[in-house]
Structure 1
Amino acid sequence: MSEVYRLAESRDAERLLEIIYDAYITIRELKLQWPAAHADLALIEENIAKNACYVLENDGQIAATLTLSKDAINKWHWEYPFLKWFAVHPDAQGSGLGTKLLTWVEEAIIRDELGASAVTLATAEKHPWLLDMYERKGYERIDAIDRGNGDGTMYLLRKIVNPHLHAQRIRQHRQGGRL
């Protein structure tokens, strides 16, 4: 089994549309207003172009995807990198490939490349298993909001990826600096 982690390219858009559409069926059934769940090819292409969209190829086929947003931080008024559009093709679900991609992005990109102490993502309370899954992976709830769009309570979750740096930033913040 050969695994390759890389940034998505425009040529990957059709495969990513297939993965995201198939993986987000529960999101659509719950009538959550998540852009990824209702994406068309143009929105997938825009995501690839505007953000850092990562993929995990397994034996030459993209099996999972995860996006590091370049604009969501301002929406939540938070200063940590924000992950979105996490999806694993149904044929690969339960294989651990999604966890491998998430861990790789958290460590190689967020912690090592960006030098961030933590990472954030958001999910809906009404989803039957996502909140529990992220909490098992070390994410903790740090904020909640109901935007009144029918999604119900959305939780902002944070995972500390560099505890030493995070403690240092907390000390700086308490002394009047920014996180």
Structure 2
Amino acid sequence: MSEVFRQADLKDAEQLVDIIYRAYHLIRELGLHWPAATADLALVQENITLNECYVLEKDGAILGTVTLSKEDEISQRTGIPFVKWFAVDPNYSGQGYGGKLLDWVEEHIIHDRLGSSAVTLATAKKHPWLVQMYERRGYERFMELEGRDGDGLMYLLKKTLQYKQQTI
């Protein structure tokens, strides 16, 4: 039973639509207007094409996904890489797969490949547990933004990455 971390490609899109839709059910119930919460196949394909979408795969099945955004307004404003569209298949929730995927992307992609010492993400104040989950992972609130489409207060969180630089 091997775990594989890799960049998603278009053949993964249908499976990602299903995972993201099921994982974001609470986002829809809260009335948040996040694109991932109602993403269809075309939007997931666009996300894979325009950004760096990563997955954790185990025994050929995708268990989780996270996207490193390209040229978004938050990265441009902060100068720090921004991650979004984080989702874990609800059938595997609470088993540590999401944390493994975020750890891998933070260390190997953002820190080692991009050379960044920090990463950012955004979440809604009104979500009952996301802010606390990210804070347990070492993220700290550093900016408040008024959400679009009536989403209310959004927190921009930042994590300082302290991985040892790999030598070749």
Q: Is the pair's TM-score, using the shorter chain for normalization, greater than 0.5?
A: yes
Structure 2 residue 55 is the aligned partner of structure 1 residue 52: no
> What secondary structure, in the 3-state scheme, does the structure 2 residue paired with 1:5 have?
strand
Moved over 3 A (4+): 73-76, 162-165
Structure 2 residue 7 is the aligned partner of structure 1 residue 7: yes
Contact kept, 8 Å, 1:7 with 1:55, in 2: the verdict is: yes
Structure 2 residue 51 is the aligned partner of structure 1 residue 22: no
Shift of 1:164: 9.4
1:91-170 mapped onto 2 (5 Å cutoff):
91-147=91-147, 149-162=149-162
Tell me the TM-score normalised to structure 1 length: 0.88
RMSD between aligned residues? 1.7
Shift of 1:60: 1.1
Q: Which has the larger radius of gyration?
A: 1
Point out where structure 2 has 5 or more consecutive residues left out of the alignment: none
Tell me the TM-score normalised to structure 2 length: 0.94
> For 1:37-92, what per-residue CA distance to the aligned partner results, in whole angstroms no more than 9, with x for missing partners?
01110000000000000000011100000000002244761110000000000111
Q: Report the CA distance shift for 1:148/1:36 in structure 2 as closer, same or farther (over 3 A).
A: closer
Contact kept, 8 Å, 2:144 with 2:153, in 1: the verdict is: yes
Q: Output the amino acid matched with 1:156.
A: L
Contact kept, 8 Å, 2:111 with 2:163, in 1: the verdict is: no
Shift of 1:162: 3.3
Q: Output the amino acid matched with 2:145.
A: I
Contact kept, 8 Å, 2:80 with 2:116, in 1: the verdict is: yes
